[in-house]
Amino acid sequence: MFGFEISKKDRRTNARAGVLKTPHGEVETPSYVVVGTNGAVRCLGSEDIPKTKTQIIIANTYHLWRGLGDKLESFPGLHKFMGWNGAIMTDSGGFQVFSLGFGREHGMGKFFPKETPSLAKQKNLVKITNDGAHFNDDYGESYLDAETSIKIQEKLGADIIVAFDEPTSPIHDYKYTKESLERTHAWALRSLKAQTRKDQWLYGVVQGGAFKDLREESAKFIGSQPFHGFAIGGSYGESMGAPREQMLSVIKWSVARLPEEKPRHLLGIGKIEDVFDAVELGMDTFDCVIPTREARHGGLWTKFGRFDIKKGFWRGSFMKIQGDCKCPVCENLGVTRGELREMFKTRHPNAARYATIHNVFFFNDLLEDIRRSIKEGRFLEFRREFLRNSNRGIMGP
Beta-bridged to residue 204, according to DSSP, are: 230
Q: Which of 159, 274, 277, 287 is catalytic?
A: 287
CA neighbor of 278 nearest in space, from 306, 301, 303, 244: 244
CA neighbor of 239 nearest in space, from 228, 249, 247: 247
Distance CA 344, CA 347 (A): 5
361's enclosing H/E stretch is helix 351-375
Distance CA 119, CA 109 (A): 8
DSSP annotation of 48 reads T
Distance CA 258, CA 251 (A): 11
Residue 287: active-site member? yes
133 and 126 in contact (C-beta within 8 Å)? Answer: yes
Residue 91: active-site member? yes
Spatial CB neighbours of 249, under 8 Å, sequence gap ≥ 6: 210, 212
348's enclosing H/E stretch is none
326 and 365 in contact (C-beta within 8 Å)? Answer: yes
Q: Which of 91, 165, 274, 277 is catalytic?
A: 91
Q: Annotated active-site positions, please?
A: 91, 287
